[in-house]
Each structure stands twice: as structure tokens, then as C-alpha cells.
Amino acid sequence: MNPAGESERAVTLFEAVGGEPTFRKLVDEFYAGVATDPLLRPMYPEDDLGPAADRLTLFLIQYWGGPNTYSAQRGHPRLRMRHAPFRIGAAERDAWLHHMRRAVDRLELPPEIATALWDYLERAAYFMVNVMDDPAAGPA
């Protein structure tokens, strides 16, 4: 409790990073890389990456303690189901992580916050893999 006798509320990562503007910057930086990535760009059928960027922004905001706008608009995230139509193997995961790492680094967050954010994003990227590459098949 604080001196006034009120219990202190834990600060969410959403609040600690500066709220929505920080998540918008993260996602904008990420999609700037995706826009020119020959492996990832074809996964986005829309001409404009804006709708995908909005969805990711709202998801991350909600996940890290901000408003639940994502679920209000789209229901449960069901990330694996929503990504099931796309081939996500090690190469796609690594390309995604490459662009996301650059985006996280551009935020210049305090190290403990950047680590928490990155740890989640890395786990999520590995979780989304839905194709096991066959090393015996050799290069395509």
C-alpha cells in the first residue's frame, strides 16, 4: 500500500512503453520490413498492409494490458487458426523475427521491457510454425 492507504496497481507493459503510440510505431517499423520481404509479403493478399498492421497493433495492445478492442472487433485471437492457411516454416519464422527484432530495437525501450516484449514475440513466432521443413528434401 502507498502512504495514503490505497493499494498500488501494477503498471502494465502497455503503460510502461507509452501506450498505443509505441505499439503503432513498433508495428509500422515491422511492416516497413515486411513490405519489401520476398518471403513474407506474398502472405498478405491485401494491396495495402494497413489492415494487417491495425490487427497486429490492436492484438499487441490488448495482450500487453491495453484496451480489449481486438477481441471486441474480432473475437478470440485464435492465432494458430487465423494463420493456418499460410505456410509458416523456419524460413518464414526467421524472416518475421528479423523484421520484428529491427522494429523492437528501433523503439529504444529500457532493457527489461525490451526483453519481456522480445521474449513474447520470439515465443509467438515459434508457436506459429505450422510446417516442418524436411532436411532430407534438400534445397527447393
Domain ranges of the chain: 13-132
Q: 76 or 105: whose pLDDT is higher? A: 105
CB 57 within 8 A of CB 24: yes
CATH for 13-132 (1.10.490.10, 3.10.20.30, 3.90.1150.10, 3.40.50.720): 1.10.490.10
Q: Residue 81 contacts by C-beta under 8 Å, 6 or more apart in sequence?
A: none
pTM (global) more than 0.75? yes
In angstroms, the Cα distances linking 16 to 22, 61, 113 are: 10, 12, 8
**Predicted pLDDT of residue 74:** 76
In the predicted model, is pLDDT for residue 139 greater than 80? no
**Predicted pLDDT of residue 140:** 44
Per-residue pLDDT tens for 49-59? 999 999 999 99
> Can you tell me which residue has the cell 498492421?
53
Per-residue pLDDT tens for 92-107? 999 999 999 999 999 9
**Selection from 109, 9, 120, 106 nearest residue 64 by Cα:** 120
